[in-house]
Each structure stands twice: as C-alpha cells, then as structure tokens.
Amino acid sequence: MSYAGPEFDSPQPRRPRRRPLTLALAVLVPGALLGWLVYAGVSGAADGGGTTAAASPRASAPPAVSSTTAEDKKPLGSLRGKVVVIDPGHNLTNFRHTAEINRKVDIGTNRKECDTTGTSTNAGYAEAKFTLDVAHRLRTLLEKRGATVKLTQDGDRPYGPCVDERARIGNNAKADAVVSIHADGASAGQRGYHVILPGRVHQGIADTRRIVAPSARLGERIAHDFGRATGTAPSNYIGDGTGLDTRTDLGGLNLSKVPKVFIECGNMRDSKDAALLTSGAWRQKAAQGISEGIVSFLHGQRSAR
C-alpha cells in the first residue's frame, strides 16, 4: 500500500543539515542489526529450532508424538472391545420350580444345587429383584463406556440358569470380567458388603489356577470402588474388615475360566442395610461402584500388557 504525505515528498536540496541524522542512522542500524542477530541465535538455540519464541507462541512446546496405536486412539476410559458378563443372582420365579433348582450339578469339588431362591428383606423385597435391577443399571453404565455386556439371565427364563451354566455363559463369551451380583441373608446387626473371590481349585472339571490372581485384582478394585461410591463399610462379619472373602464351594466360581467374582452388596435381613438395598438412588450408587471397579481392573490389565 502506498501513502502520499509530507514524510514521503521528494527530498529538498538542504543535504548538509541532514548529515547528523544520516551519521546517527549509520551508527545505530548496524548495531541494531547485530543485536537482533545475537538474539535470534540465542532464542533459536533455546527453543531447539531455527525460529525464535516470538515467531510462534508454541515454539517452546514439546513436539507432538505422531505415531499412535489403535489403543491410544480410544477415548479415555473407553471399554471398546471389552466383554463384561453380569450375572444377576437367582431368579424371581425359582420358587415355582423347586424340582429343577434342587437338581444337583457338578461343580468340580462336589455336586451342588442348580440354584436357590435367594433371600429377601423382612418386608418381602426379593434378592432376585434387587440383583436384576442393579444388573440393568450396571449394564447401562458399562455400555456407555463402549463395553459389550451380556447378562446370564434377564428375567426371561422360568428359573435359573443353574450355577454351572452361569459359569459357561461367561466362558463362552470369552469375557474379560464377570461379576455375579447378590445380597446376603445374614442375621440382623451383621452389615456391610463383601466380595467373594475364587480360591485355588484343581479337582474334577474345575480348575481355577489361571484365574485366581486376576480375579483377586478384580475383586479388590470392586471392593474399593463400591465402598467409596456407596459410602458403606466392608462387612463386619466376613472378611475381617477387608471386604474380601475367598471360597472354593461356589460352582459359579469353580467352573469359571475367566476372571470372576461375586459381590454381596449388603445384608437384606438387617433393617439398616435393607433401607439402602431398597432405595433406587442407593442401587444406582452400587452399580456405579461396581462399574468403576470393573473399569479400573480392565484398564489395569491394558497397562500391564
């Protein structure tokens, strides 16, 4: 752009009067140029490149890593590609099929009933109703994170499934984690939650040797996050305050070939625990705590690889 004005008029013939200014400029310009060159060199060395920090406000930032894997591109907290099986304990209509649920099935260490009716609060709120409600809430939370979620039963069966079939469902799904949801039926005054871990079993058709360690990690994460999310304490009657209990007499654990735990969310026979278990808001917290434990476990697995 050109600009016509008095500062750009043709020079007048009074050159001697401009000589001091010309001399000053002759001195100052090379000095300024030399100073700029020194500054540019120092700045370029400081930010590791040939440009100065003033040239770009991001010049001093570390270079971005260009190589990424498919795992790195997953959103933070994503469970895409992971399979979780949720096992809602018992079945609301088991009581109508006593012959079927009393049938004995092989659990490796011995033979045990196909299933049971479960327990209930003193007011009649059934454990099976509780477990299915929490399972639905948990499924929603996990699916939002991208997991593939399967239920062993969704209120769509006349009874069961039997404990051995519950284990097979998780095995056949090649699940990354399986959680069986329950609520206990202990004496009044016995309160709190606990997570049941599979013990080491290698007998008959049962072999838990490969899943004991990962199941323990899964159980520990769930116990921690469940207590934090629900604001409840670990069991005061099982687990010595740890909220963890190891057993070898449960077919659902003995026959599992993938990481699996049970969680007893509280005691339905204690009035204070029952008040929590029958609250929809608390059941949402319970599902949230279990979900966070599963997410923590699965991301821990990913980091270990």
Spatial distance between the Cα atoms of 224 and 226, rounded to a whole number of angstroms: 6
pLDDT confidence tier of residue 304, bands split at 50, 70 and 90: low
Whether 220 sits among the annotated catalytic residues: the reply is no
Spatial distance between the Cα atoms of 141 and 135, rounded to a whole number of angstroms: 10
Q: What is the pLDDT of residue 42?
A: 38
Q: What is the pLDDT of residue 266?
A: 98
Tell me the mean pLDDT in the region 220-225: 98
Cβ neighbour number for residue 200 with a 10 Å cutoff: 12
User: With left for phi above 0 and alpha for psi between -120 and 50, is residue 81 left, alpha or beta?
Assistant: left
Q: Which residues pair with 180 in a beta bridge?
A: 87, 262
The string of pLDDT tens digits covering residues 127-180 is 999 999 999 999 999 999 999 999 999 999 999 999 999 999 999 999 999 999
- Find the catalytic residue in 127, 165, 220, 264: 264
Spatial distance between the Cα atoms of 179 and 259, rounded to a whole number of angstroms: 9
Which pTM value belongs to this model? 0.75
pLDDT confidence tier of residue 75, bands split at 50, 70 and 90: very low
Spatial distance between the Cα atoms of 18 and 25, rounded to a whole number of angstroms: 11
Q: What is the pLDDT of residue 70?
A: 42
